[in-house]
Amino acid sequence: MNVLIADDHLLFRDGLRRLLAQFDADMTFFEASTYDEVRSLCDGTRPFDLILLDLGMPGWNGFSALGDIHVNLPKALLVVVSGSEKRSDLLAALENGAAGYIPKSSSAKVLLGALQLVLAGGIYLPEQAIRGGDRVDQMQGGYGGGAAGDQMDDTAAIGNGSGGGDQLTPRQRDVLARLRDGKSNKQIAHELGLTEGTVKVHVTAILRHLGVRNRTQAALTAQSL
């Protein structure tokens, strides 16, 4: 397995490399400390299997950079490992092709569990983004716009791409049923006792899981499930 670790802190890269070597001794590691180096390595000539990427490296020019990597290496699993715990950053990462978002405050056990989920075909969302919305949105140092804080109430693990409804969490199935009925985020939030920010996270996860691009396609898929 070819793994790219992209972070501007050498100590963090070393620690992550040592941790992952325990996870799988057959990994071959590449490293980058700037986005220029990431772009050079991710030009499509190297078959990366897993890319672990920090958002705040020198050369960061917005979440479109993640989309560019995803286009060049569509088979690579892209996981953001970031100091930002803002929901808006998490959403932007998912929307630009990330298969997971791991806060740097996570333990080694959580990080390895998240990578196991991603490598098995799932999408990892941090638990605090699901259960602790106030903390997520009030953290400083994010890389995108903010969102209103709220309490989120579902599991962090979801399926990844062209899956069936049986792999969605119960709350995501509730949201999908209302998407099928043509309801807006505001209406869904009111009916389920959530905020619109929470609903948006669930909708984004549902679109990724079902492998569709918009709410209309998700609604059509829901009707066929």
Q: In the chain, at which residue ranges do the beta strands (DSSP E only) sit?
A: 2-6, 28-32, 50-53, 77-82, 100-103, 122-124, 157-159
As a whole number of angstroms, the distance between CA 180 and CA 182 comes to 5
Sign of the alpha-carbon dihedral angle for 170, 174, 175, 179: positive
Q: Please report the pLDDT score of residue 138 as a whole number.
A: 35
Q: Which two tokens stand for residue 124?
A: 């990892």
Instruction: Give the chain's residues under pLDDT 50.
Output: 132-160, 162
Q: Please report the pLDDT score of residue 11 as a whole number.
A: 94
**Which domains are assigned to the chain?**
2-129 (3.40.50.2300), 170-224 (1.10.10.10)
Q: Please report the pLDDT score of residue 130 as a whole number.
A: 59
CA-to-CA dists, residue 180 to 29, 171, 203, angstroms = 44, 14, 12
Whole-structure pTM over 0.75, yes or no? no
Q: Please report the pLDDT score of residue 167 as a whole number.
A: 64
Q: What are phi and psi of 194, to 5 degrees?
A: -115, 175
Q: Please report the pLDDT score of residue 132 as a whole number.
A: 45
What's the one-letter identity of residue 77?
A: L
Sheet strands side by side (includes 122-124): 28-32, 2-6, 50-53, 77-82, 100-103, 122-124, 157-159
Q: Please report the pLDDT score of residue 95 as a whole number.
A: 84
